[in-house]
Structure 1
Amino acid sequence: MDLEKYLKIIIDSYYGYFDYLVNEMFYPSWQNYFWWLLGMSLAVWLLEIVVPWRKEQAIFRKDFWLDGFYMFFNYFLFSLIAYNAISNVAVEAFNDFLALFGVENMIALHIESWPRWGQFLLLFLLADFIQWNVHVMLHRVPILWEFHKVHHSVEQMGFAAHLRFHWMETIIYKTVQYIPLAMIGFGLKD
């Protein structure tokens, strides 16, 4: 095992994601996920204020700020703290493991010659099917339910309630998704 290679991946991951996050926050553009998430969240929250479904619910409902924290933590800070480096090392370690058996390319279904819409449709359907199954698993497997309970702890629904989830769910979802999507040529970032 080449520890220096993995250490370099970790360091590059931290620097790379930090640079990405700084650019997302301080250099807005139309392709910028940070500002799109913030803008869409603000738009939906304003819509909730103008056309409330629960008229008796306060504008700043119970745990409003907690859900805001989960939004920033789960979508930005967790990747900076750990996920980006861990996932990059895990992918490299998995590829190194496959190489022990002579497997250099795990793509089983070559779809690069398909039209873009066909590739997108397959990616969408496969990813959605996997996510649905993982969600069912989160409800049925007791140890996974312990993580998923965080998502169901919301007492008053609002625009960001669906963003409240345990960081371990990111690891579970992405781990289960990785191999099937990689087998058709899509990586974690797609």
Structure 2
Amino acid sequence: MENYLNAFLNAFNGSVQWTWKSIIFEVPWYTNYFWGLIAISLFVWILEILFPWRKDQSIFRRDFWLDAFYMFFNFFMFSIAISGFYKMLEVLFKDVGITAKSLAIIDISAFPMWLQLLVFFIVLDFVQWVTHIMLHRYRILWNFHKVHHSVKEMGFAAHLRYHWMENV
């Protein structure tokens, strides 16, 4: 049990430290997810201001700040909170002998890198498509997913609004 608690605490603290180091620019710019997400969001927002989808679209649309909150919560605060649980699962899987290789249906490591990437993106896209269908089809999942569909006025950050349980 102590292994699981240590795994949780180490991962949680590591995530907090990584996020803080990102905020204060102590990580290389090309790995700084915190400021990278903000920079990309500002860039897309500026494009939205310069080339609005709707005439008379307001710069600060309805629920703009709510979407900003969801961005910070889902991408940073929740990631910190869940990192410990993911690490505990990793330790549990290791303890019972479950590895990535034991879960693999096929071994693509002998494929050329470009083909591995292609397979990865096709499988990822398929899994996300099926997941999205399930989020709409099953009431218990829809109750979480409808947060994403609660946007009244679309804007660049609307896709960042989703319930934290969708990450789980």
TM-score (norm 1): 0.81
Q: CA deviation at 1:30?
A: 1.9
For 1:168 and 1:9, the matched residues in 2 are separated by 22
- For the residue of structure 2 that corresponds to 1:30, the secondary structure is helix
Residue in 2 that maps onto 1:131? 128
Residue in 1 that maps onto 2:2? 4
Residue in structure 2 matching 1:162, options 154, 159, 164: 159
Q: CA deviation at 1:64?
A: 0.1
Q: CA deviation at 1:162?
A: 0.3
Residue in 2 that maps onto 1:116? 113
Q: Structure 2: any 5+ residue segments left out of the alignment?
A: none
For 2:136 and 2:123, the matched residues in 1 are separated by 20
1:90 aligns with 2:89: yes
Q: Structure 1: any 5+ residue segments left out of the alignment?
A: 172-190
For 1:118 and 1:23, the matched residues in 2 are separated by 35
Aligned-residue RMSD, C-alpha: 1.5
**Alignment length, in residue pairs?**
164
Residue in structure 1 matching 2:138, options 127, 137, 141: 141
For 1:91 and 1:60, the matched residues in 2 are separated by 42
How does 1:55-94 map onto structure 2 within 5 Å?
55-80=55-80, 82-94=81-93
For 2:53 and 2:32, the matched residues in 1 are separated by 30
Q: CA deviation at 1:56?
A: 2.1
- Structure 1 letter corresponding to 2:117: F
Residue in 1 that maps onto 2:24? 26
**Alignment deviations for residues 101-131 of structure 1 (CA, whole Å, 9 cap, x no partner):** xx55414422223222111111111111101
**Alignment deviations for residues 149-187 of structure 1 (CA, whole Å, 9 cap, x no partner):** 10000000011000000000000xxxxxxxxxxxxxxxx
For 1:108 and 1:95, the matched residues in 2 are separated by 19
For 1:62 and 1:55, the matched residues in 2 are separated by 15
Identity between Structure 1 and Structure 2 (%): 49
TM-score (norm 2): 0.91
Residue in structure 1 matching 2:15, options 17, 38, 52: 17
- Structure 1 letter corresponding to 2:83: N
For 1:133 and 1:108, the matched residues in 2 are separated by 18
